[in-house]
Amino acid sequence: MSTMRVKATLILCLLLLATNLGAAEPGGVGDGVYDMQCGGACHGDSDQNATSSASLVLTTDSSIYTGQATTFTLQVDQLTNSPYVPIGLFLLSDTTGYRDTPQDIGWQILSDTNGAVNNYIEVTGLVDGDTIDWVLRAPEVGNYTFYASIHHGGNNDPHFGISQAYNIEVLPIPDNLPRLSSEFIPTVSREVGQQSSFQLLTEDVDAVVVEWRIDGGVANQAIVTGDAVNGFMVELPTANQPSTMQWRALLSGEGPQQTSPWFTLVTNEQSFSIDTTAVYLQGISVLIFFAGLTVLLQTRNRTTQNEEEKTFDEIPTTVSQEGGVL
């Protein structure tokens, strides 16, 4: 019986440790870089997905040059059962469900609406007409196809929808085009009270004006110092509370003036990180501790029982005069 109890304890501990490994995620999985196959992994069996009523329309800048940043804007309409919490939105390069992220065809995500660099984001409170933006850096010259996909709940069923194919052409860079360097990577997040100063890497640029805005409000000019020879330094205002800031650069030179996309910079509360490996190691340590404690208690119980039996066996017996045992 004691062996069975130990085994039962170990099995229960293992089940507790593994609960989040195989659970479905009806409340969302969090932003990340995911293939469309997440439609099955996030919502159970993908074959059971209902069709979303949402209309998805992708648009980009009119001219996209190799190595340059461009904005992908997704407009969502016809959310008849809105609001869903949350709504998952994908930017995809294919519909196979495998290796279909923009990165898989050479594009680099520079920022997303939520202040990260993910092709899949989750949003709440989305209503008809709202737009979601991704800023991507184009790869080599060529033709490319993109899709947008939506995943959400409703009426106790997972829903899935996908846009029409959106075809774009990446062009070679014209001579003397004022532009951001292909090596420039914007910062997408910071903490409350953290100062944001950075060097704006440019090519064929003589002058720079940087504008910023909070949550899509009125644009203001940021402080820009330096020059084309020594480099341009940009200083964005420090935020004293969580907020979302967008900024862009107006670039002037010999060629036509260019305007960069609006890059998103999210200000978050100071946070702490959790090392999942350490959490699992701690859980395993707790498992071993309780397993050892169970074995120890069982050993003590058996020892106590043996001592009681031995003591009982050593008790002397006497025979009464009538022949009975006393």
CB 191 within 8 A of CB 239: no
Do residues 163 and 87 both lie within one domain? yes
DSSP structural state of residue 325: B
- Residue 315 within a domain: no
Residue at which a domain ends, from 147, 173, 199: 173
* CA dihedral of residues 76, 78, 82, 83 (deg, nearest 10): 10
Smallest CA-to-CA distance from 152 within 93, 86, 94 is with: 86
Q: Please give the full DSSP string across 231-268, using - where no structure is assigned.
A: EEEEEEPPPSS-EEEEEEEEEESSS--EE---EEEEEE
Do residues 143 and 221 both lie within one domain? no
Domain holding 290, by residue range, is 1-25+272-309
Number of domains present in the structure of the chain: 3
pTM over 0.75: no
Per-10-residue mean pLDDT of the chain, 326 residues long, equals: 59 54 58 77 58 92 94 90 74 90 96 94 87 96 96 80 95 96 93 91 96 92 94 94 94 96 90 61 72 71 64 54 48
Place of tokens 């031995």: 310
Do residues 46 and 108 both lie within one domain? yes
pLDDT per residue over 238-292, tens digit each?
Answer: 988 999 999 999 999 999 999 999 999 999 887 655 566 666 677 777 777 767 7
In sequence order, which residues have a C-beta less than 8 Å from that of residue 232 and are 6 or more positions away? 199, 200, 202, 205, 208, 224, 225, 226
Residue at which a domain ends, from 173, 195, 228: 173
- The confidence score (pLDDT) of residue 24 equals 45
Do residues 72 and 151 both lie within one domain? yes
Do residues 210 and 154 both lie within one domain? no
